[in-house]
Structure formats: C-alpha cells, structure tokens
Amino acid sequence: MLDAMSTASGDVIRRIPLFQHLGEAEHQALAALFRERRFPRGSIIVAQGDPGDAMFLIAEGQVKVAVFAEDGREVILSVQSAGGFFGEMALLDDEPRSAHVIAMTDAILLQLRREDFRARLKHSPDLGIALLRELSRRLRRADETITSMALLDVNGRIAHLLLELAREEGGNRIGRKLTHATIAQMVGASRETVSRTMRSLAVQGVITINRREISLLDPDRLRAAAQRA
C-alpha cells in the first residue's frame, strides 16, 4: 500500500514545475515524504491566519486561493488544478497562512510537512534552489497582476488573466473550470461585466468556450488588450 502511494506521489511530483529540474532519485526521495489528504467540495483546506507548517500538491481536483475583505467580499487570488501547488512559503518561514484555500471540487492533495522538507534539504541543495526559483516566478507574476489591476480596464484585466492561466497550462487552452463569477472575483469586476466581455471575445473569434475548456484563438489580440494602459 505504501509503495503504491509512493508511486502515485512520484507521478504527481514529476508533473509539478517546482520539481521538474530534479533528478529521478530526488523525485523518489520526495515521494516518500508526502502524505495523501482528501477534501470534499467546499471545505477549507487552510485558513488565513492559521499557523502554516506544510505545502500541498494537487493530485486531483481544483482549489481556489482567496482572501476576504472586512465587508465579506471575496477576492480570488488564483485557481489551482491538478499539477498545481500551494502553501510553499510555509516550508521556509513560521508565519501564518496569508490566504484561505478552499476546495472547489472534491480534491486529493499530497501534503509535505516543513520538518520533512527541511530534513531533506540538508541532503539536496537542488531542492532549495528549485523552491527559490518558483518563489521568484510567483513574485514576478504577482507584480504583473498588481500592475494590470492598477493600469488596465476590465477588458485588459480579463485578457491578462486568460493569457496568464493559459501560460501556466503550457499552451493556448485553459482546462480549469472557471465560472464568470469566479473570473469576476479574480479581476475585480462584476459578473455581468465579465459575461459581456467574454461573449464579445467569443463573437470576435478571439476565444472559444465550451464545458471543458477556454481556447485562445487569437492570443495577439489579448496581448494587445493586456498591454494597453
């Protein structure tokens, strides 16, 4: 049973950009440290302000990373699906969780605790470099998102979001299930405005939308909108 779980963990680890530069021996060593956790749809996986002592890889399902304003308004920072991960800052510091992570579907996660990571880090400097590389990438992405929110109109913010999500999935398709309400909470707009913009992009042939994915047919048009100050 443990060997089967370790094999499954290893398969997930190999798909994670964070660990893709590591060798097979390191993948196997890491796989032995992860523990499977299951969460039903709607459950809070981690809560903002709680102590953080582990990171999570997403084996199956979809989650959202969100914060809540004092008036109860939800702001979605990101949506992660299979192959994604979150909570990596908890491996390096002892600070509280900076956001809520909520299961949008039933989810199977792999948990790596801080003490196991740090013990492994003593034998694998490449592991630390991999984490620093990913933290740098996410910081750059956060800077881009802040810039888009400050300088772009709603159309530009939606274009930027679609391009970023497609880039994360390695092409011109977005397989994550995103409602217009979810997109609205990610770009700081109303659901009605997002619906109108998405319909317009579809009519213009810039994107296509079906139940399984959003396809970017004309990324250049989206890039032009995302660069417009």
Q: Are residues 62 and 85 in the same domain?
A: yes
Q: Are residues 159 and 207 in the same domain?
A: yes
Q: Are residues 30 and 101 in the same domain?
A: yes
Rounded CA-CA distance 27/221 in Å is 40
Q: What is the mean pLDDT of residues 99-118?
A: 95
Pairing of strands 173-174, 35-39: unpaired
Q: Is residue 160 part of a domain?
A: yes
Rounded CA-CA distance 136/144 in Å is 13
End position of a domain, from candidates 74, 102, 137 = 137
Q: Is residue 143 part of a domain?
A: no
Q: Note down the domain range covering 79.
A: 2-137
Pairing of strands 207-209, 54-60: unpaired
Q: Are residues 96 and 198 in the same domain?
A: no
Q: What is the mean pLDDT of residues 24-36?
A: 88
0.75 exceeded by pTM: yes
pLDDT at 6 over 70: no
Q: Looking up tokens 């998405």, which residue turns up?
A: 198
Q: Are residues 20 and 112 in the same domain?
A: yes
End position of a domain, from candidates 137, 164, 184 = 137
pLDDT at 167 over 60: yes
Q: In angstroms, how far is CA 166 from the centroid of its own chain?
A: 12
The SS3 call for residue 204 is coil
Q: What is the mean pLDDT of residues 200-214?
A: 94
pLDDT at 26 over 90: no
Q: Is residue 145 part of a domain?
A: no
pLDDT at 215 over 80: yes
